[in-house]
Amino acid sequence: MLVAGDVVTDVVARHRGPLAAGTDTAAAIRLVPGGAGANVACWAAHQGCPEVRLLGRVGADTAAWHERELTASGVRPRLVVDPDAPTGTVVCLVDEAAAAERTFLTDSGASLRLAPGDWSDRLLDGVTRLHLSGYLLFSGVGRAFVAVAVAAARARGVPVSLDPASAGFLAVLGVDRFLALAEGVDVLLPSRDEACLLTGLPDPADAAAKLSRQFALVVAKLGRNGALVARSGAVCARVRARPAAPVDTTGAGDAFTGAFLAALLTGAGAEAAAADGCRAGAVAVTHVGGRPLRCSP
């Protein structure tokens, strides 16, 4: 599998209760590797996907660190070092008093500067699926990159999956524009909010069903409410979430996506793959950061 998307540095700040405006709020703060694309790749490798490659763009400031972290997670990184922009940084504010719900402050940096010139059709050699992080669609060069990558994948018969990535950025981009840019994608993996935003429907089941008229397979991630699988205009499966005591919900959707895609690639059906995704999401929220924990040597 080849994943193309964002590689960022996450600053995770866990606090309890409302932020105190104009003064200090006590928090436990950690610096961890992140990025939706990178997280998905790490979870897919963790779940047994035979080979996971990642194409991303980073700054020279942390390129070596990110390459080491990805390699240690079983991912084969191809990181383009941007000469003009630093690695993207996301400040994740995690409210421990609100079921570890998180709010993001995002400086995309080099991550959204992945451009058509960074693509080579040789990247698809031996690849059986291309997965794209939706964050790429939120910059002009990223949109051009997606068009080139999808066209190359379609020409080779390689299926393409896409995670819309951010309801906030999606609202700015525009629904019609997103759906046009996603032409040629086989599998769409939206969150509840993204699915509802993309359709204008308040019920995620109705939203997933509607989206599945454009995409061959839609898997809507509902967090603690599990997931929905939809095909051909109808929901065909509802998958329950696994119980978990959340510490940090950052990257839970990425964990779902990585595990889901790994299961598909190893022969599972969509419903069984979604169950794997729910299990991975439940594990992801029990520790800080959006990547799977690695065993100490």
pLDDT of residue 297: 35
Does residue 104 fall inside a structural domain? Answer: yes
- Burial class for 237, CB neighbours closer than 10 Å (0-12, 13-18, 19+): middle
Number of helical (H) and strand (E) elements in the chain, helices listed first:
9, 13
Domain that holds residue 136: 2-20+28-284
Counting the structural domains of the chain, the total is: 1
| Start-end of H helices in the chain | 36-46, 63-72, 140-156, 167-173, 175-181, 192-199, 204-211, 252-265, 270-284
Whether 183 maps to a domain, the answer reads yes
Report if residue 295 sits inside a domain.
no
Residue 291 lies in a domain: no
Q: Show the CA angle centred on residue 57, arms to residues 52 and 63, nearest 5°.
A: 90
CATH code assigned at 113: 3.40.1190.20
Residue 156 has pLDDT above 80, yes or no: yes
pLDDT tens profile 12-24: 998 988 888 899 9
Residue 137 lies in a domain: yes
Condensed to tens digits (0 to 9), the pLDDT of residues 176-197 reads 999 999 999 999 999 999 999 9
- 205 found inside a domain: yes
- Supply the pLDDT for residue 296: 37
Q: Is residue 195 part of a domain?
A: yes
- The answer to whether residue 296 is domain-embedded is no
